[in-house]
Amino acid sequence: MLAAVEQINYLTVLLFGVVLSVAFSGVDHNKKNRIAVLLLFLLLTLIQAVFYHTWGLERTKELYPLITHLPLIMALAVYFKKPWVLSAVSVLSAYLCCQARRCFGTITLLLFHDMTVNYAVQIAMTLPLLIILIRYVAPQMRKLMCNPHRSVLFFAVVPTAYYLFDYITTVYTDILHNEIFVTVEFMPSVMAVCYYLFVVIHTNEMQNRHELEKERQILSVLANQGLMELESLRRSQLQAAVYHHDLRHHLQFVDACLQNGKLEEARAYIEEASSEIERNSIIRYCENETVNLILSSYATKAKKANIKLICKADLAPDIGVHATDLCVILANGLENALRACEQVNGERFVSLVAHRQMSRVFLQIQNSYNGQILFANGLPVRPEIEQGFGVKSMVMTIEKLGGLCDFFAENGVFTMRASM
């Protein structure tokens, strides 16, 4: 009776571990995968049966990691296409959860002093524990597995330590049953170390998240400012169109002033109207309205700063990039270029080339500069020019569009290139 119940218990342990490992790793629930999991369980059962009848129970326990856990990890990684780290952590975590079954069996053993009852209780608790763990724990485990590998590996410390501790002290030796002091202190020590590591890593991650959130908020403000500036440029364009439409009325007023000998008044009116039209005029660089608005705005700024602006743009009205993203990329790139040119004593120029080829937009902005430009993580850093968030905003926007960008400085010319 005892032998039969013990064998059934080992079978339910295998079922418990396989199902829980699959659930923790995030294998999709469909008919094909359910059949695959069933076949995997039957194959592992067959392997264990062969080893049990060939070498006996004790030898099978010693080889269990090689004939059960390793094939299970390989199945998750190779057949179900899960990362090796995630597969290993899922199996180790499922093994740790098997301790819950043992706990209920141990309590009954203390009460009744009967191994048959011990195994029977473990068998009876298998299904309820599986339901609870799959419903409440597995979803959180799958979310945890989406974290960077460093965090996942840190999480795996406790299951791995328990796995090694259990096999070393109960399967390969009998240290635990001899009540050696070191074995009693081992797991509490591991838990203490893990706790302190968790505090350090969690604090660093929270700080990094805070910094990222702060940057996100600043970049959002920059994007909103870009939209406001774009809207202001559109209003200027409309105002210029109104002035051109009312040109006949302006000429009539000037003619009336001239006929009445009011030359100074006519001259002042002409100067005022001309400056207003020039201020609101939009230069047509290409067929894209957003690009024209942005380039016209910075052309005016460049002229006031005595900086030569050269633009060669060949972009259609629809280039597959949202106006907001275009504004962030062009405005920040040109703003940084103009600021750098303001520090130059000699030739001051900004050059922009933009065109579309093979469904991708290519952009290059060059400008003259003085001094030395340092690079950190591939991004330009000049403390005297507040480029930090502007450059980050450009890079994040380009990466969001699935593009690439690079920065380099050579012979007094700074270059930014992007494709998206």
Domain coordinates in residue numbering, the chain: 2-178
What was the pLDDT predicted at 224? 63
What was the pLDDT predicted at 247? 53
Q: Which of 34-43, 130-139, 188-197, 352-361 has the lowest mean pLDDT?
A: 188-197
pLDDT digits (tens, 9 = 90+) for 254-280: 666 666 666 676 667 666 666 655 555
What was the pLDDT predicted at 228? 61
What was the pLDDT predicted at 386? 46
Please check the confidence at residue 281 and state whether its pLDDT lies above 60.
Answer: no
d(CA 353, CA 368): 15
pLDDT digits (tens, 9 = 90+) for 368-419: 998 888 887 778 876 554 445 678 778 888 888 888 889 988 888 999 999 9
Mean pLDDT in residue range 107-111: 87
What was the pLDDT predicted at 278? 53
Please check the confidence at residue 218 and state whether its pLDDT lies above 70.
Answer: no
First to last CA, the chain: 71
Entry field: residues in the chain: 420
d(CA 362, CA 419): 4
> Confidence band (pLDDT; 50, 70, 90) for 346?
confident
% the chain with pLDDT above 90: 27
> Confidence band (pLDDT; 50, 70, 90) for 130?
very high
How far lies 182's CA from each of 163, 169, 179, 185, 269, in Å? 17, 11, 9, 5, 97
Pairwise pLDDT comparison (162 vs 14), residue with the higher score: 14
Please check the confidence at residue 18 and state whether its pLDDT lies above 70.
Answer: yes
Mean pLDDT in residue range 322-346: 86
What was the pLDDT predicted at 34? 93
Asked if residues 300 and 233 have their Cβ atoms less than 8 Å apart, the reply is no
d(CA 216, CA 334): 21
What was the pLDDT predicted at 410? 87
| Most confident residue range from 75-79, 307-311, 353-357 | 75-79
pLDDT digits (tens, 9 = 90+) for 33-62: 999 999 999 999 999 999 988 998 889 989
Pairwise pLDDT comparison (239 vs 73), residue with the higher score: 73
Q: Which of 25-34, 322-331, 343-352 has the lowest mean pLDDT?
A: 322-331
> Confidence band (pLDDT; 50, 70, 90) for 243?
low
| Most confident residue range from 188-192, 262-266, 286-290 | 286-290
pTM above 0.85, yes or no: no
What was the pLDDT predicted at 87? 93
d(CA 238, CA 277): 11
What was the pLDDT predicted at 27? 92
What was the pLDDT predicted at 106? 85
What was the pLDDT predicted at 385? 47
Q: Rounded mean pLDDT of the chain?
A: 81
What was the pLDDT predicted at 62? 92
Beta bridge partners of 360: 357
Nearest to 397 by CA among 324, 335, 338, 336: 324
Please check the confidence at residue 163 and state whether its pLDDT lies above 70.
Answer: yes
Q: Which of 26-30, 164-168, 199-203 has the lowest mean pLDDT?
A: 199-203
Long-range contacts of 146-154 (CB under 8 A, 24+ apart): 149/85, 150/201, 151/201, 151/205, 152/85, 152/86, 152/89, 153/85, 153/89, 154/197, 154/198, 154/201
